[in-house]
Amino acid sequence: MRAHICGIQQVGIGVNDLPSRWKWYRHNFAMDVRIFEDAAEAPLMTKYTGGEVRRRIAALAMNMRGGGGFEIWQYADRKPRPASFDIALSDLGIIAVKMKTSDAAQAAEALTAAGTKTVSEPARNTAGTKHFYIRDIDGNAFDIEESDDWFKEKAPGTTGGALGAVIGVSDMEKSLHFYREMLGFDRVLADTEGPQPDLAKLPDGDLTYRRVILTQSKQGTGPFTPLLGQNRLELLQCTEKKGRKIFENRFWGDLGFIHLCFDVRGMDALKARGNELGYPFTVDSADSFDMGKAAGRFGYVEDPDGTLIEFVETHKLPIVEKWGWYMDLRKRNQEKSLPKWMLNCFRFNKVKD
């Protein structure tokens, strides 16, 4: 099977209190559909957890308007560490998660009314798209960006799920090679260098940057593609100072954005592509991981600055857990989307306070 990058499945977010943080994401981002919630060890991730097998609890939450989900992740056997500095635009790694909205002004008004800390007012980015920044309860940055790509446009909330990420890089050309050739983000929506007025209110927003906004010219097709939707990645390289690695001397699972995960098909072909390009898998579950209600294969690669990119090829998952309805995706065409009515059944897994 050919390698398919089918969309952002989820962004990993390390937290210190999963119930309260997930409640915040439900209230503010309508991330209220539970795909799975599981407590287990992470034996394959010791490269990134200090050489020891760690225990954790994780929940995958989605928004039925469409977009990627959140894997809300908490250590069960250690206290997660925050970054040793206040994260700025000049730093290296996942600086912010992009969230979908159909109307930036309306979303800013609603989030402000709900008490959310709004960092910037709606303005247009270098690709001409209106957006603004907010921070969550832990200070993580989210770039709320307009989109016209929806799975279910009329649904609760003023935002959809994850649209993409803002990623700090140290060498733009090396990073462009990785995100273009390895991940297929080959369509440039904007490539500028200089001051960035729409980012001025963020830390180090007064500095100059090379800023490249990317999307896929041809998105891979998989079972969940209509729900996940199209994605955008924004790469930032500060031209005035050297960036600090956001996760340097910390573990995967510590506080903040721990990885960016893509839903894929054709994992063997993707692994071969990585080897050929010089981006080998650093972790590979090989046959199948089992997270209780869900199963599949996962692998990790690093971008040129060590930012963790996860790939997941889902084999089994609950469609409606309370009905005992599970699907083995290996028994169907891997390159064909699930019908919309079936994807819409995820709504029956909605979590209520």
Nearest CA to 26 out of 136, 163, 166 is that of 136
Q: What is the average pLDDT value for the chain, to the nearest integer?
A: 92
CA 92 vs CA 88, 169, 259, 303: distances in Å: 9, 5, 13, 11
pLDDT confidence of residue 292 = 53
pLDDT reading at 290 higher than 70: no
* Mean pLDDT value across residues 249-259: 97
Retrieve residue 327's tokens. 């699907």
pLDDT confidence of residue 345 = 86
Q: What is the 3-state secondary structure (H, E, C) of the chain?
A: CCCEEEEEEEEEEECCCHHHHHHHHHHHHCCCEEEEEEEEECHHHHHHCCCCCCEEEEEEEECCCCCEEEEEEEECCCCCCCCCCCCCCCCEEEEEEEEEECCHHHHHHHHHHCCCEECCCCEECCCCCEEEEEECCCCCEEEEEECCCCCCCCCCCCEEEEEEEEEECCCHHHHHHHHHHHCCCCEEEEEEEEECHHHCCCCCCCCEEEEEEEECCCCCCCCCHHHHCCCEEEEEEECCCCCCECCCCCCCCCCEEEEEEEEEECHHHHHHHHHHHCCCCCEECCCCEECCCCEEEEEEEECCCCCEEEEEEEEEEEEEHHHCEEEEHHHCCCCCCCCHHHHHHHHHHECCC
* Mean pLDDT value across residues 313-328: 71
Q: How confident is the model over 98-127, as pLDDT tens digits? A: 999 999 999 999 999 988 988 999 999 999
pLDDT confidence of residue 326 = 67
pLDDT confidence of residue 152 = 85
* Mean pLDDT value across residues 211-222: 94
**What does the alpha-carbon distance between residue 136 and residue 60 come to, in Å, rounded to a whole number?**
18
pLDDT reading at 238 higher than 60: yes
Confidence of residue 289 (pLDDT cuts 50, 70, 90): low
Q: Which residues pair with 167 in a beta bridge?
A: 94, 235
Cβ within 8 Å of residue 205, ≥6 positions away: 89, 196, 199
* Mean pLDDT value across residues 279-303: 82
pLDDT reading at 293 higher than 70: no
Q: How confident is the model over 39-86, as pLDDT tens digits? A: 999 999 999 999 999 999 999 999 999 999 999 999 999 999 999 999
Nearest CA to 353 out of 20, 12, 16, 14 is that of 20
Could you tell me what percent of the chain has a pLDDT over 90? 79
**What does the alpha-carbon distance between residue 173 and residue 192 come to, in Å, rounded to a whole number?**
13
pLDDT confidence of residue 323 = 65
Q: Domains along the chain?
A: 4-349 (3.10.180.10)
pLDDT confidence of residue 332 = 73
Report whether 222 contacts 338 (CB < 8 A).
Answer: no
Task: Name the range with the highest mean pLDDT among 21-30, 36-45, 146-155.
Answer: 21-30
Could you tell me what percent of the chain has a pLDDT over 70? 93
Task: State which amino acid sits at residue 155.
Answer: A
pLDDT reading at 144 higher than 60: yes
Lowest-confidence region among 18-22, 221-225, 273-277: 221-225
Nearest CA to 259 out of 7, 12, 10, 6 is that of 12
pLDDT confidence of residue 157 = 76
